[in-house]
Amino acid sequence: MKALFTENRETGARTLDQQILELFREKKGGLVSGEELSGALQVSRTAVWKHIKSLKELGYRIEAVPSQGYRLVASPDLLIPAEIAAGLTSTRIGRHIICFKETDSTNEVAFKLAEEGAEEGTVVVAEAQRRGKGRLGRRWESPAGVNLYCSIVLRPPILPIKAAQLTFLSTVAVARAIAATSSLNAFIKWPNDLLINGRKVAGLLNEMSAETEKVNFVVLGIGVNINMHRDQFPTELRHPATSLFLEGGGPVSRLAFTRALLEALDELYETYLHHGYGPVREEWLARCNFLGRQVRISFQEKELGGTAEGIDADGALLVRLVDGKIERVLAGDVTII
């Protein structure tokens, strides 16, 4: 498992590439001499040159001015720890950020790291996923460089039965991040889809390790279609999908989005730990637009129809059937009729 970049904001451990970027950032577009870089990093001038070359390969535009040094001209919208961490105000979420150019699934990586003891707030991000996992065993389309695929490790002191509440929490966080970084408003569809103009823009897949009475950890898996173009969506999708780019008519900075998401998660999680599920549930209800509407729910071979009435304390959907009885639905796909 080789990470592209990793950073521990608590211990301050950074790769050499990240330290070079920090020096460039301090100079705000000014020149940094090779000597200054090799002195600060305690490596040879040849090593500095090699790292500059690798940063250029990542998309950084770095100008070399003969016998004066290097200047950072432009940075790509690349999801790497130093860039995500720059100006990030969260305290718990994002303490440790690990980024991959490509991985099978960020959820799988985060799960493995959590099993090995990764601290709460560890964030795993990938530019692309080979086998992105969706709900109900489906695949999550994960092309490179356009979207956000991230997984966050939490260790909440709650009973396993309450873990679904965290899915609601992360859905609200994504809705907040969309509002903060675009002019768009996403609506929530139970249990955890975010829709814009009736099309799915983000999905969440939370996975948990637990004992009977104790959650060991939860991995919040979040996929957001940010700058994906129409031709990057597969034609055979079950539900219509979209991206912030397609709905808003312009690109959205993935870095700004990622920071907004981590900050929203941080704030909501603090609220959840100190004040319980109530405030999260309130916001979830305020951001969903299908309560009171006729819905059809399918799960495996079963189907049921009725009026969506609300969600209960465990996150189950409450559906009023034609005979007036309330049915608690724990899983399935909802279609608004």
Residue nearest to ligand BTN (CB): 203
**Total binding residues for ligand BTN by CB under 6 A?**
20
Closest CA to 134 of 79, 193, 178, 186: 193
Task: Encode burial over 182-193: b for 16+ CB neighbours within 10 A, e otherwise.
Answer: beeebbbbbbbb
**204 binds ligand BTN per the rule CB under 6 A:** yes
DSSP secondary structure string for all residues of 51-99:
HHHHHHHTT-EEEEETTTEEEEEE------HHHHHTT---SSTTSEEEE
CB of 100: closest distance to ligand BTN in angstroms? 11
User: Within 218-257, which residues bind ligand BTN (CB under 6 A)?
Assistant: 221-223
Site residues for ligand BTN, 121-150, by CB under 6 A, read 129, 132-135, 138, 140, 149-150
H/E run at residue 169:
helix 164-181
75 vs 227, which CB is nearer to ligand BTN? Answer: 227
Burial class (CB in 10 A: 0-12, 13-18, 19+), 4: buried
Cβ-based nearer residue to ligand BTN, 121 or 223: 223
Q: Which is nearer to ligand BTN, 116 or 211 (CB)?
A: 116
Residue 265 has φ and ψ, to the nearest 5°, of -60, -45
| Cβ proximity to ligand BTN, 90 vs 106, nearer residue | 106
Which token pair is 216?
A: 């060991």
* Shorter beta-carbon distance to ligand BTN: residue 75 or 142: 142
Interactions with ligand BTN, residue window 273-332 (CB under 6 A): none
DSSP 15: -
- For residue 106, what are its two tokens? 């960020």
The distance of closest approach from Cβ of residue 179 to ligand BTN in the complex, given in angstroms and rounded to an integer, is 20
- Shortest Å, Cβ 239 to ligand BTN: 9
Contact set for ligand BTN, span 89-118 (CB under 6 A): 105-107
203 contacts ligand BTN (rule: CB under 6 A) = yes
- Residue 328 has what DSSP assignment? E
Residue 324 Rama label (left phi>0; alpha psi -120 to 50; beta): left
Answer yes or no whether residue 81 interacts with ligand BTN by CB under 6 A: no
Residue 162 interacts with ligand BTN (CB under 6 A): yes or no:
no
Contact region with ligand BTN (CB under 6 A), list: 38-46, 155-163, 198-206, 325-333: 198-206
Instruction: Provide the minimum distance between the beta carbon of 259 and ligand BTN in the complex, in angstroms, as a whole number.
Output: 17
Q: What's the CA gap between 123 and 92, in Å, rounded?
A: 10
Which residue, 17 or 193, has its beta carbon nearer to ligand BTN? 193
Residue 300 one-letter amino acid: Q
Q: How far apart are CA 5 and CA 21, in angstroms?
A: 12
Closer CB to ligand BTN, 77 or 207, in the complex: 207
Question: Can you tell me the distance from the alpha carbon of 294 to that of 321, in angstroms, rounded to the nearest whole number?
Answer: 10
DSSP conformational letter for 219:
E
For the CB of residue 63, give the shortest distance to ligand BTN in the complex, in Å: 36
151 binds ligand BTN (CB under 6 A): yes
Grouping H, G, I as helix, E, B as strand and the rest as coil, residue 316 is coil
Taking the complex as a whole, how short is the minimal distance between the CB of residue 240 and ligand BTN, in angstroms? 13
Binding footprint of ligand BTN on the chain (CB under 6 A): 105-107, 129, 132-135, 138, 140, 149-151, 193, 203-205, 221-223
